A and B are shown apart, each in its own frame.
Chain A
Amino acid sequence: MDMLTQGSLFFQFVLPVLIAFTACTGFCIIFNIRGTNLWFAAVGGAISWLTYLLCAGSGSEVFQCFAGGIVISLYAEIVARIRRTPSTCILTIGLLPLVPGAGVYYTMKYCVQGEYTLFAEKGMSTLTAAGAIALGVMLVISIFRMLIHLRLHVRRKKKT
């Protein structure tokens, strides 16, 4: 519990999530999201990063990315239904903090410097992280699509 003193809590969770929020706000403007949706999308970025940080205890980056992908796509599908906007709008922004930008950069840097062992190692871990995010997103969207089809099916049965 020593880790959770006030100061470290701030630097461990609050500050990174706030920074993720401002970064996503910037991207909302770049992607021309307007009005209330802008804030919903930017909060999505904060939520995905908070999930990633909270799952740090699992010790596996792949799981962190997977969990982040699942939570953000759930959030996107729910907000899309409330706000009546395509879920892509929320999802695209929310995924940005999870994108392994640093991993891509170091992979590239090792390649340029000719450190091929490190390059292969970093490249693999980056690819796995990206794959994990995609899997999480695909899982949730597929389940949601299934539910929608199920609902339509039930409605049709009731009519006949």
Chain B
Amino acid sequence: MNYHRLLNLVISLGSVLMENGAETYRVEESIYRILEGHHMAQVEVFVIPSMLIVTIRPEGSEKIYTQQKHIRSRGTDLTKISEANNLCRYYCCNDMSLDDLEAAINNIRRGPVYSRTAQYLAYVLAGSSFSLFFGGSLVDAFCAILGSLLVKLIFEQMGKLGTNTFFTNILASAALTLVAELAAISPLHANMDTTFIGPMMLLVPGMTLTTCMRDTIAGDYISSLVKLLEVVMVGMGVALGAYLSMSLVGLFV
């Protein structure tokens, strides 16, 4: 049995889960589950949102194997979480070689994502729907389409530049406010509030909020604190961006 390789695969699976927004207990459980069938005398797993540490000691051996991984990228991909979760369940009930496990993990990593066009359309759909949802008129929803496109564009370009989330949110929120203010001044006479709120929902870190709640329930307070801080920072970024734009427009109008 090649324990280094096993550890590598386990860490790789854990990082797929963590990078795509899974809860801390899910990552821990998945790693335990895979190691369960390998006759370990000792298994220690430590997971926080930015770090994974796994230590194992095989039965009848004094040798200790340990590996850690720093998790940098953070995104949301619920299909990958679901598939990785199913893989763990499958692995512990079925006879599966390490080669197969590696292939399966790589398959999940390379899993399909929606095309760029579909993603832009999704942003437009969500942004304009939420604008209507919060009581906006059709004109407001139309202006919200513009705002949503801008948000996606900023996310995409800033992602390429590797800018941090805080600054990205300031920029996106400032751009949104500008669109809303201009729509209100323009002959369209859109309602500034509803035009802004719709696309603003795109900035709300829904996944982080839910994970934060679930981490709290599971008792992983370090993870939930980190996620709460993330949510607060997004909120502050959005507020700051809107404040800058409102003040700027206030100078001229």
Contact = CB atoms under 8 A, between A and B. Distances in A.
Interface of A: 16, 19-20, 22-34, 37, 84-86, 88-89, 91-93, 95-97, 99, 101-102, 104-106, 108-109, 111-112, 134, 137-138, 141-142, 145
A86 B89 CA distance: 12
Nearest to A88: B210
Contact of B207 (A20, A31, A37): A31
Given A29-B114, A105-B193, A145-B217, 15 more contacts: A23-B129, A23-B130, A29-B118, A29-B125, A31-B77, A31-B207, A33-B78, A88-B78, A88-B210, A92-B210, A99-B201, A99-B209, A104-B200, A138-B217, A141-B217
A10 to B, nearest CB: 14
Contacts of B247: 112
B23 A88 contact: yes
A88 B22 CA distance: 8
Interface in B199-253: 200-202, 204, 206-207, 209-211, 213-214, 216-217, 235, 238-239, 242-243, 246-247
Contacts of A106: 193
Contacts of B207: 31, 92
Interface string B179-206: 0000000000000010011001110101
A105 B196 contact: yes
B67 interface: no
Contacts of B33: none
Interface string B116-143: 0011011111110110111000000000
Contact of B86 (A26, A84, A91): A84
A102 B214 contact: no
B210 A95 contact: yes
B243 to A, nearest CB: 5
B122 A86 contact: no
Q: Which range contains the number of B residues in contact with the other chain?
A: 35 or more
A19 B200 contact: no
B78 A92 contact: yes
Contacts of A91: 210
B203 to A, nearest CB: 10
Nearest to B212: A134
Contacts of A134: 213
Given A22-B129, A134-B213, A112 B242 contact: yes
A30 B129 contact: no
A96 B201 contact: yes
Interface string B154-196: 0000000000000000000000000000000000000001001
Interface of B: 22-23, 26, 76-82, 85-86, 112-114, 118-119, 121-127, 129-130, 132-134, 193, 196-197, 200-202, 204, 206-207, 209-211, 213-214, 216-217, 235, 238-239, 242-243, 246-247
A97 B85 CA distance: 27
A32 B114 contact: yes
A23 B133 contact: yes
A29 B196 CA distance: 21
Contact of B113 (A27, A32, A101, A102): A32
A50 B79 CA distance: 26
Contacts of A85: 82, 85-86
B11 to A, nearest CB: 20
6 closest Cβ contacts across the A-B interface? A26-B126, A29-B122, A23-B129, A26-B125, A89-B78, A92-B210
Contact of B214 (A27, A37, A141): A141
